[in-house]
Structure 1
């Protein structure tokens, strides 16, 4: 009911308590109660005895009612589950996926207390400073091809950042880089049988308006935020909508045709590693190789001595010879 009251309020003109009461079939006292709840949540609402209520300002939160106006998808993000604080959006997404929540559901939290990156690394997620979300998907694809959705997500984030005036590069397969530092990580997890995927969870963590003091000292040479790298504040709602709007058509291309060529083209054109020498880590072994291409399957092609070898994202990690990338 609180959301329904909010949806009836306007930012351009006053709405009377009587009209809200009649539209929702609740008492004027109930309208007043929900208005006060919204005020406590950060909405600036002016009340006038003769005019009614008007929204003067909205809080910087990623709730469904705040984000939905920016989403133009068919199913991704049509169901948003929002939290103020949560241990990990991926963990909660797996719980909800197991309970058969709708395909395309997005889990968002303003803060994560136990955010995770690839290979179990910690991801620091300060409150209301980033986008910490997970997308639940149920693709009819072989489990061995699930890694391709990570590449799709990377291309979608890059496209969204470009739409919002931020230049970035993609460090194959799941990091977004600005000025040589990581601003976004993507973590894909899967529940499947040998031949069937029950669900995928695509975790996306973006340091949006994170301040320098909120980045751990030991990570400052590797990690940054959009705000720190561009010297401007970003609208998280607009950016989140852009990511989902970019993601869905790339994902539908894959599920309908089996191709991720559009996503691969983005990753090639904006690669942080293509035609560069990098350190390849395979278990306890490390070697210097040159990245020569990303093939149509999203595998990295590397040159070692006189041979070109194809590697998969789940098998290796790559590092720059100096710095992060």
Structure 2
């Protein structure tokens, strides 16, 4: 796991070399910019090479970055971040059962707000209602974000809706792909799932200790690499645009939008977040079936409450509040 100083230092090194473009950067200049010895610079360069970066070194000229791999390592993410809170600490794992599990442990150990846990692979990725999220190595973004908002527990579900807004805006900013929200936490492109959200909480009766937001985004999967049962209902950014993307670019774009909306939420409240969420949602005004543990409810989706609860108007005019359900759109619009 990358934790802190080394990953952050290599992130700064990548940033300086990237900004230099095709020009060489001297070891002395890197030493001054990073505040470390030239020997330490060389050691970091060697670590980057082991991670798949191609760097040219020429005596009396310095170093030049030739190739950046599609990695979600701490240094690669840190090199792109412009946020002040989100991603302040980046923990990278090559493979974990679930980033949510790692995040919960870090939260209990006192990790700071904005800590991001990202993995190249999840072997037991967690979806909503205990389902498993298909998250193979090297293709998608599987990450968890640690939040410590000073809010009562009943407001925590609002953060799921905020997350959907931030992820959609971040994806579009990085790739041009426009997604829509299917209540409560699925993001779709042309009716096929491209991302999912899972929000979990550590709390006391009157206050939230931590909110762990898990996000899975299909980035570079090809259709043939998806399990057969997912090929008709799932998609990826690469499938939609016909080109692969650097996953770190997508993640840092999402974190930037997340920081914007989270700060607004903390200082101005939920109303604008809710209105933006409703503008991006596809459920409202449509006749749906909401399948809950108690049974199926039929009616028209009218909106959401401030707590993110779905408002369903039945044919007889009765209003039902749906807290958790799977949503299906009814073809019959009569």
Q: TM-score, normalised by structure 1?
A: 0.89
Distance (whole Å) between structure 1 residues aligned to residue 28 and residue 99 of structure 2: 40
The one-character-per-residue Cα deviations of 1:169-195 (angstroms, maximum 9, x if unpaired) are: 101121100011111000000111211
Distance (whole Å) between structure 1 residues aligned to residue 295 and residue 275 of structure 2: 30
Q: What is the CA-CA distance between 1:127 and the residue it aligns to?
A: 1.7
Distance (whole Å) between structure 2 residues aligned to residue 214 and residue 309 of structure 1: 43
CA distance 1:215–1:17, shift in 2 (3 Å): same
CA distance 1:50–1:253, shift in 2 (3 Å): closer
Query: Are 2:327 and 1:318 aligned?
Result: yes
CA distance 1:182–1:76, shift in 2 (3 Å): same
Distance (whole Å) between structure 1 residues aligned to residue 266 and residue 60 of structure 2: 55
Are the equivalent residues in 1 in contact too, given 2:11–2:74 (CA < 8 A)? no
Query: Are 2:281 and 1:283 aligned?
Result: no
The one-character-per-residue Cα deviations of 1:121-160 (angstroms, maximum 9, x if unpaired) are: 1111122211111110111111111110000000111112
Are the equivalent residues in 1 in contact too, given 2:11–2:76 (CA < 8 A)? no
Query: Are 2:157 and 1:139 aligned?
Result: no
Query: Are 2:72 and 1:59 aligned?
Result: no
After superposition, where does 1:37-52 map in structure 2 within 5 Å?
37-52=47-62
The one-character-per-residue Cα deviations of 1:173-218 (angstroms, maximum 9, x if unpaired) are: 2110001111100000011121121111000100011111221111
Are the equivalent residues in 1 in contact too, given 2:27–2:38 (CA < 8 A)? no
Are the equivalent residues in 2 in contact too, given 1:129–1:209 (CA < 8 A)? yes
Are the equivalent residues in 1 in contact too, given 2:11–2:79 (CA < 8 A)? no
CA distance 1:312–1:145, shift in 2 (3 Å): farther
Are the equivalent residues in 2 in contact too, given 1:70–1:242 (CA < 8 A)? no
Q: What is the CA-CA distance between 1:230 and the residue it aligns to?
A: 2.8
Q: What is the CA-CA distance between 1:60 and the residue it aligns to?
A: 1.2
Tell me, what secondary structure is at the counterpart of 1:224? Answer: coil
Distance (whole Å) between structure 1 residues aligned to residue 161 and residue 97 of structure 2: 25
Tell me, what secondary structure is at the counterpart of 2:95? Answer: coil
Tell me, what secondary structure is at the counterpart of 2:215? Answer: strand
Tell me, what secondary structure is at the counterpart of 1:306? Answer: coil
Number of residue pairs matched?
A: 318
Q: What is the CA-CA distance between 1:17 and the residue it aligns to?
A: 4.5
Q: What is the CA-CA distance between 1:288 and the residue it aligns to?
A: 2.4
Query: Are 2:87 and 1:115 aligned?
Result: no
Distance (whole Å) between structure 1 residues aligned to residue 285 and residue 222 of structure 2: 33
CA distance 1:5–1:24, shift in 2 (3 Å): farther
Structure 1 window deviating more from structure 2 (85-94 vs 232-241): it is: 232-241
Are the equivalent residues in 2 in contact too, given 1:152–1:263 (CA < 8 A)? yes
> Who is 1:252 aligned against?
263
CA distance 1:125–1:190, shift in 2 (3 Å): same
Q: What is the CA-CA distance between 1:234 and the residue it aligns to?
A: 2.6
Query: Are 2:263 and 1:263 aligned?
Result: no
Tell me, what secondary structure is at the counterpart of 1:111? Answer: strand
Q: TM-score, normalised by structure 2?
A: 0.87
Q: What is the CA-CA distance between 1:67 and the residue it aligns to?
A: 2.1
Distance (whole Å) between structure 1 residues aligned to residue 10 and residue 217 of structure 2: 31
What RMSD over aligned residues (CA atoms) do the two structures have, in Å?
2.3
After superposition, where does 1:194-213 map in structure 2 within 5 Å?
194-213=205-224
Distance (whole Å) between structure 1 residues aligned to residue 41 and residue 177 of structure 2: 42
Task: Give 2:177's match in structure 1, choosing from 166, 180, 188.
Answer: 166
Are the equivalent residues in 1 in contact too, given 2:182–2:283 (CA < 8 A)? yes
Q: What is the CA-CA distance between 1:284 and the residue it aligns to?
A: 4.5
Structure 1 window deviating more from structure 2 (66-75 vs 39-48): it is: 66-75
Task: Give 1:272's match in structure 2, choosing from 268, 282, 296.
Answer: 282
Are the equivalent residues in 2 in contact too, given 1:250–1:262 (CA < 8 A)? no
> Who is 1:100 aligned against?
110
Distance (whole Å) between structure 2 residues aligned to residue 98 and residue 202 of structure 1: 15
Query: Are 2:196 and 1:185 aligned?
Result: yes
